[in-house]
Amino acid sequence: MKPARILVTGGAGFIGSHTVDALLRENREVVVLDNLFSGRLNNLDLAHPNLEFVEGDVLEYPLLVDLLTGCDAVLHLAAIASVPLSIEKPIYSFQVNTQGFLHVLQAVYEAKRPIRLVYASSAAVYGEAAVLPCLDTKPLDGVVLSPYALQKRHIEQYADLYQRLHGTKSLGLRYFNVYGERQDPASPYSGVISRFLSLYQQDKALTIFGDGQQSRDFIHVQDVARANCLALQSDYAGQLNIATGQSETLLDLIQSIEAAGGRRANLTFAPASAGDIQSSYAATQLALQQIDFCYTIALGQGMRRMVS
């Protein structure tokens, strides 16, 4: 069943704002809670009659409880979604990512009524997986490589625990490498595609950390927004990969940028970054089975959209 009124934490951010747009197109009422640490007001249609914006933080527990009144679903996206920042500021990222999620989970439990909870997890929970593709049908066994990855593992464990203890069901979406419009290339913690594309358009050098053979599963943000909407309508509980199931190296990515832009890129190479995994791509069959999700935007098409 489609929820009528949805609280979206982090709704002014990159993934959040695209999801808010999609929900509004479905005639849902949306309440956005965002502290604007990385979110932007100009990502939202603030004049839309079905949109309410509240500037605040998931660490403000009474505010969360109040905003849940009248909502029948929560999409929890508020996070410090950065491996480097989690290494630089582990206490702050723990507070936002782990404690903030626990606030949302406890508020849903204490509401004592059915509230659909969908939350953002991450491919980082797999760590350096011994076997590829990364399987959302088996327990996690890879070694985590960053505080961010550990925090995302912890929130999945809290979600599973609350279901066992209290019957509070939730669905965690393990996003792989999300890219697309509204991803801020000026941020040092932004995704590799937005940074590379911005540098390419300025005719500046693209720095590859490592040999360029590290691979990722890149998924367009509009596909992710659609997956979020499907997850909110589902009653499935657990965790799902949200990905394409395709493995692309960084050198493949640069070729896609060059094809979209019509000229060669300037490249430099540097030592690999701490906390980075070498290879990652997802098994996607469970998401297809449980929420009828499959990606629609291939990397080349997504790059052409961003260039245009």
Q: Domain map of the chain by residue range?
A: 5-176+219-243+283-295
Per the CB < 8 A criterion, the answer to whether 115 and 72 are in contact is yes
Give the model's confidence band at 189: pLDDT under 50 very low, under 70 low, under 90 confident, else very high: low
Kindly tell me if the per-residue pLDDT of 168 is higher than 80. Answer: yes
Kindly tell me if the per-residue pLDDT of 112 is higher than 80. Answer: yes
Cα-to-chain-centroid distance, residue 290: 19
Kindly tell me if the per-residue pLDDT of 267 is higher than 80. Answer: yes
**Residue 203 has which token pair?**
């005719």
pLDDT of residue 73: 99
What is the distance between the alpha carbons of residues 30 and 49, in angstroms, rounded to a whole number? 10
Rounded to 10°, the helix 100-110/61-68 angle is 40
Q: Which fold, 5-176+219-243+283-295? A: Rossmann fold (3.40.50)
Kindly tell me if the per-residue pLDDT of 100 is higher than 70. Answer: yes
Kindly tell me if the per-residue pLDDT of 5 is higher than 70. Answer: yes
Q: Which region among 159-163, 170-174, 235-239, 248-252 has the lowest average model confidence (pLDDT)? A: 248-252
pLDDT of residue 188: 64
**When comparing pLDDT for 274 and 99, which is higher?**
99
- 276, 190, 282: which is closest to 242 by C-alpha? 282
Respond yes or no: is residue 148 known to be catalytic: yes
What is the distance between the alpha carbons of residues 124 and 147, in angstroms, rounded to a whole number? 10
> Would you call 81 helix, strand, or coil by DSSP?
coil
- 225, 230, 220: which is closest to 290 by C-alpha? 230
pTM: 0.95
**Residue 153 has which token pair?**
């593992």
Q: What is the mean pLDDT of residues 33-56?
A: 98
Give the model's confidence band at 185: pLDDT under 50 very low, under 70 low, under 90 confident, else very high: confident
Q: What is the mean pLDDT of residues 177-202?
A: 88
Cα-to-chain-centroid distance, residue 154: 16
pLDDT of residue 187: 72
pLDDT of residue 272: 86
Residues in the chain: 308
Q: Which of 119, 148, 162, 295 is catalytic?
A: 148
What is the distance between the alpha carbons of residues 122 and 81, in angstroms, rounded to a whole number? 9
Give the model's confidence band at 129: pLDDT under 50 very low, under 70 low, under 90 confident, else very high: confident
- 180, 177, 179, 172: which is closest to 286 by C-alpha? 172
- 50, 1, 54: which is closest to 24 by C-alpha? 50
